[in-house]
Amino acid sequence: MKTLICIFIAYFGLSSAETIPELAEKLNGLKFIRLLDDVGLTDMLSGTGPFTVFVPTDNAFDALADGVLNKIMKDKELLKSVLLFHILSWKIYTKELKNEKRIPTLNNNMKVRINLYNKKIVIDGSKVLLADQNATNGVIHVIDKVLVPLPSQNMLQYLASDGEFYKFVHSFVKVKLERKLIDGPFTLFAPTDTAFDQFPPYLLIKLVSDDKKLTDALNYHLVKGTLFFDEWNGTTNSRRQIFKYHNESR
Ligand X SMILES: *[C@@H]1O[C@H](CO)[C@@H](O)[C@H](O)[C@H]1NC(C)=O
Residues that bind ligand X (CB under 6 A): 132-134, 233
Strand order in the sheet with 87-88: 87-88, 51-56, 138-143, 126-135, 120-123, 111-117, 102-104
Shortest gap between Cβ of 39 and ligand X (angstroms)?
A: 28
Shortest gap between Cβ of 36 and ligand X (angstroms)?
A: 22
Task: Quote the longest CA-to-CA distance of the chain.
Answer: 87
Q: Which is nearer to ligand X, 132 or 248 (CB)?
A: 132
Shortest gap between Cβ of 234 and ligand X (angstroms)?
A: 7
How far is the C-alpha of 53 from the C-alpha of 27, rounded, in Å?
12
Shortest gap between Cβ of 32 and ligand X (angstroms)?
A: 19
Neighbours of 81 (CB within 10 A): 19
Q: Which is nearer to ligand X, 233 or 237 (CB)?
A: 233
Burial 17-34 (b: 16+ CB within 10 A, else e): ebbbbebbbebbbebbbe
Q: Which is nearer to ligand X, 75 or 132 (CB)?
A: 132
Q: Which is nearer to ligand X, 134 or 153 (CB)?
A: 134
Q: Of 98, 119, 137, 100, nearest to 16 (Cα)?
A: 137
